[in-house]
Structure 1
């Protein structure tokens, strides 16, 4: 049985140096392309759209860089810009409900539960606000790329070295630290998986989904989505890529350049996995799971058992973003800033919309609208017509 390391304020703290190098997806793609010319993107197909998109509202916040990401709390969406601004927008109208300035450049998107809002700066400081007022800061021992997860009056932080730390949201008291022993020395410097299912905290540790007790930080189960293989550490890198998707008690997620799969969120039983060497977040609903591989070939699997439903290669090398299922549509953007709408039943293209820039993260569906934040920082609320 794999040993784990759990620390709390009452136990000795053992400092473990992370010897690996944090690699971003772009660097890995560059490494894979050394010695060869960049593949030519597939041309845009001729299209007579049967579905159109209209802008309900949009708000420009400034360049996002590592701060890309949207958090929804009730009727509010919280967004950030790399320069340090955090803004809460009304989901229906885009009106600014509150905004604050962290006074530092941001390394992550903001996490919020509606009362507490947390973010990590490029100086590795975790900064927590309550109702727009800063209440505490805490320097983290290492780099952070994943937005803080705020729930149950706690703030959970996952560092690039995969360690997970928990704090009391009100006073910054450190509660516990968790890191699975025996992990790989390399990790992705991109947003990973930190979320909850009912009263359980779910985090990614390499290719494993770990369920933790949010009060004690002790593991409840772990689910292995695949065993990395390769001749070097880069080829064996297989971190879970966020965000994950929860559907009918399952969590569906991608393990970078390894697999796509679904796990029972109650007991950790792996429902199914399918090999796919991809780097972006997948989308899922009760019927279908969809993801693109590293060459931007899009595949759809049956959610119940992983059987293939359809596959399309019209978007090869177009630099697809993470995806979102939007009613009977699949929404995905490319590196030219085009948002493509695919019919969920067979993958045919039914619409296209031009954003002001590419997407850094997957779009999100809320109240029937599609929300997307571009690399320029513009937050869109879109309606399908």
Structure 2
């Protein structure tokens, strides 16, 4: 067990003009375990308050641009903010309307473009040099998963069971993979994103892995959209909640892709053939995150948060209060998740011990993001406020 633990030295007075934030001390002041520090830096309004929405949800997020030393944030307010990373000043902003933003923005490798999806089914490409929308591509379903870039193509999924490949430069359609929308069966709201596998053989097509509401997992050729294999993680007997809404996780060194079924749990499938390698049952399982060594972290809004070892052995489990829990973000020895009714939660990755609870007053539905270069963690609250924390225990963290 680590001797160092978390305490929270948040300057709560800075929130006097914003929503109330409550920090729960897991360790009493003066306890020898309370050595590590996550320090609250600031909060910023991304989405203007809407008093007519009783329980808002913010599914968008942020993306860091190290070239320009900016962080991009977008949300229900249908605007993109470029925020200076250290001071927190808004450098510029553009209107993305009329659609509300629903996904985490993704910046291209060359730093010239940003891609983001909307609740109305549009993928937007923003010209970051010209600070304007370069193109829009309209689909029939909500886009909440981040786009994936590979060469001259951009890939994304929507809630209508579609996978699209577009030309990254101008948004021209290249290919589309469709599955039938599941009817007369209860499914949980959500849609899996994409995992890209780049293959070393130049003659071999790269692969995209994703999941669907009918419980199917599909490996697609990145150039053509043709399926290499299709597997199922739905219960053989069928029933409600057969969907697979979690973005696959690739374990390249093992030749495995990790996926989850809402009713069946965690599966390791062969990356080349889709054959089941091992399974761990978890009710309501969501996206799996990679931890240190052979540890995986899976979140479930029904069953809690689990640390499992590759191969399917349980290491630890922690219950959570009722609400929706985000996919985990693992930063070194610590696990961060957001909770729709609470805010931000942190756990020890090795033991599952609760380290910190930050109540934002409106909860959080977006997935937290870390910038390892500056040692900052970002998360959007359901009221549309961006919270910034410094992971001050890390040697690369700012602010000491």
TM-score of the pair, normalised by structure 1: 0.73
Structure 1 residues 205 and 72: alpha-carbon distance in aligned structure 2, compared to 1, 3 A threshold = farther
Take 1:171 and 1:46, find their aligned partners in 2: how far apart are those partners?
Answer: 50
Equivalent residue number for residue 60 of structure 1: 45
Contact 1:52–1:352 (8 Å) recurs in 2: no
Take 2:80 and 2:119, find their aligned partners in 1: how far apart are those partners?
Answer: 15
Take 2:267 and 2:84, find their aligned partners in 1: how far apart are those partners?
Answer: 34
Structure 1 residues 216 and 338: alpha-carbon distance in aligned structure 2, compared to 1, 3 A threshold = closer
Counterpart check, 1:209 vs 2:217: yes
Take 1:336 and 1:360, find their aligned partners in 2: how far apart are those partners?
Answer: 9
Equivalent residue number for residue 157 of structure 1: 156
Take 2:123 and 2:341, find their aligned partners in 1: how far apart are those partners?
Answer: 34
The one of 345, 349, 373 aligned to 2:350: 345
Contact 1:78–1:87 (8 Å) recurs in 2: yes
Take 1:46 and 1:363, find their aligned partners in 2: how far apart are those partners?
Answer: 20
TM-score of the pair, normalised by structure 2: 0.71
Moved over 6 A (4+): none
Structure 1 residues 128 and 288: alpha-carbon distance in aligned structure 2, compared to 1, 3 A threshold = same
Q: How does 1:317-328 map to 2 (within 5 A)?
A: 317=322, 319-328=324-333
Equivalent residue number for residue 102 of structure 1: 96
Take 1:192 and 1:366, find their aligned partners in 2: how far apart are those partners?
Answer: 24
Question: Cα deviation per residue 1:292-344 (whole Å; 9 max; x = unaligned)?
Answer: 43434332111x2111112233x343553332222212223334434332222
Equivalent residue number for residue 24 of structure 1: none
Take 2:245 and 2:340, find their aligned partners in 1: how far apart are those partners?
Answer: 22
Counterpart check, 1:219 vs 2:217: no
Counterpart check, 1:310 vs 2:316: yes
Take 2:331 and 2:219, find their aligned partners in 1: how far apart are those partners?
Answer: 28
Take 1:382 and 1:246, find their aligned partners in 2: how far apart are those partners?
Answer: 29
Take 1:205 and 1:356, find their aligned partners in 2: how far apart are those partners?
Answer: 33
- How far apart are residue 160 of structure 1 and its match? 1.5
Equivalent residue number for residue 298 of structure 2: 291
Structure 1 residues 326 and 162: alpha-carbon distance in aligned structure 2, compared to 1, 3 A threshold = same
Take 2:164 and 2:85, find their aligned partners in 1: how far apart are those partners?
Answer: 31
Question: Cα deviation per residue 1:170-212 (whole Å; 9 max; x = unaligned)?
Answer: 22221111124x7743555424212322243222234333222
Equivalent residue number for residue 7 of structure 2: none
Equivalent residue number for residue 8 of structure 2: none
Equivalent residue number for residue 81 of structure 2: 87
Contact 2:123–2:143 (8 Å) recurs in 1: no
Structure 1 residues 203 and 298: alpha-carbon distance in aligned structure 2, compared to 1, 3 A threshold = closer
Take 1:346 and 1:100, find their aligned partners in 2: how far apart are those partners?
Answer: 44
Higher relative contact order (CA 8 A, sep 6+): 1
- How far apart are residue 99 of structure 1 and its match? 2.9
Take 1:345 and 1:94, find their aligned partners in 2: how far apart are those partners?
Answer: 33
Take 2:387 and 2:39, find their aligned partners in 1: how far apart are those partners?
Answer: 10
How many pairs are equivalent? 335
Find the residue that maps to 1:241 and give its secondary structure. coil
The one of 107, 110, 126 aligned to 1:112: 107
Q: How does 1:8-27 map to 2 (within 5 A)?
A: none
- How far apart are residue 373 of structure 1 and its match? 1.9
- How far apart are residue 240 of structure 1 and its match? 2.4
The one of 260, 263, 276 aligned to 1:254: 260
Equivalent residue number for residue 121 of structure 2: 124
Take 2:263 and 2:344, find their aligned partners in 1: how far apart are those partners?
Answer: 24
Equivalent residue number for residue 173 of structure 2: 174
Unaligned runs of 5+ in 1: 1-43
Structure 1 residues 123 and 324: alpha-carbon distance in aligned structure 2, compared to 1, 3 A threshold = closer
Q: Structure 1 residues 184-193 or 76-85, which shifts more?
A: 184-193
Contact 2:79–2:93 (8 Å) recurs in 1: yes
Take 1:191 and 1:72, find their aligned partners in 2: how far apart are those partners?
Answer: 24
Find the residue that maps to 2:195 and give its secondary structure. strand
Contact 2:60–2:144 (8 Å) recurs in 1: no
Equivalent residue number for residue 196 of structure 2: 196
Question: What RMSD over aligned residues (CA atoms) do the two structures have, in Å?
Answer: 3.3
Find the residue that maps to 1:190 and give its secondary structure. coil
